[in-house]
Homo-oligomer: A and B are copies of this chain.
Amino acid sequence: MKIMKVAEDSLKRSRDEFVAQWGALGTQWGINRTMAQIHALLMTSPEPMCTDDVMAELEASRGNAHTNLKELVNWGLIRMIVVKGERRDFYEAEKDVWKMFTIITRERKRREIEPALEILNRCAEETKGIKGVEAEAFHNQVKQLGEFVGFASKMSDKISSMKHGLALQLATKILG
């Protein structure tokens, strides 16, 4: 049984490491540490977890755990499920990597690309008719930016609405 213990320890260490580091990374990509940690935790949990499990595992407060679980549900990266004989809410993560990718892509588009597009288009519109080199240069620059971002946005839609297999096929062609 000793060997088993060692294996269990080393699994636990690795998983803890993963959760911790994923949390640290989260801050780099504009989501808070706890949210990223919970995501890491649920992605690698064999069973659904409840709020108290998360609190215990991360040593976080109830409010914090709750808020970030809800936020992850909002994103669509985890879902609430009902465990029979249990009154509490349980959560499980979407584990399919392609689905995760499409969810994250859509959300980033919504949060980062669409607002930018709106500004660019408005500024291009506002300065459309103005005469003079300065005005024309400005108009042209925001127009270019707007067109590019709009284009990128369409691409992102197209790709993230593809089936995994099809995307893979396309990607292979590009890499090849």
> Residues of A at under 8 Å CB distance from B?
4, 7-8, 10-11, 13-15, 17-18, 21-22, 25, 28-30, 43-44, 46, 95, 97-98, 101, 111-112, 115-116, 119, 122-123, 126-127, 130-135, 137-138, 141-142, 144-145, 147-148, 151-152, 154-155, 158-159, 170-171, 174-175
CA distance A175 to B97 in the complex (A): 23
Q: Which residue of B is nearest A125, CB measured?
A: B14
> Within the complex, what minimum Cβ distance (angstroms) separates A34 from chain B?
17
In the complex the two chains form, is B127's CB within 8 Å of A10's CB?
Answer: yes
If A101-B148, A138-B11 touch, does A29 touch B112 (CB 8 Å cutoff)? Answer: yes
Q: Which residue of B is nearest A111, CB measured?
A: B28
Tell me which residues across on chain B come within 8 A of A14, comparing CB atoms. 123, 126-127, 138
CA distance A101 to B127 in the complex (A): 24
In the complex the two chains form, is A123's CB within 8 Å of B171's CB?
Answer: no
> Within the complex, what minimum Cβ distance (angstroms) separates A142 from chain B?
7
Contacting residue for A44 out of B95, B138, B151, B155, CB 8 A: B138
In the complex the two chains form, is B119's CB within 8 Å of A7's CB?
Answer: no
Contacting residue for A119 out of B11, B25, B122, CB 8 A: B25
Tell me which residues across on chain B come within 8 A of A17, comparing CB atoms. 119, 122-123, 126
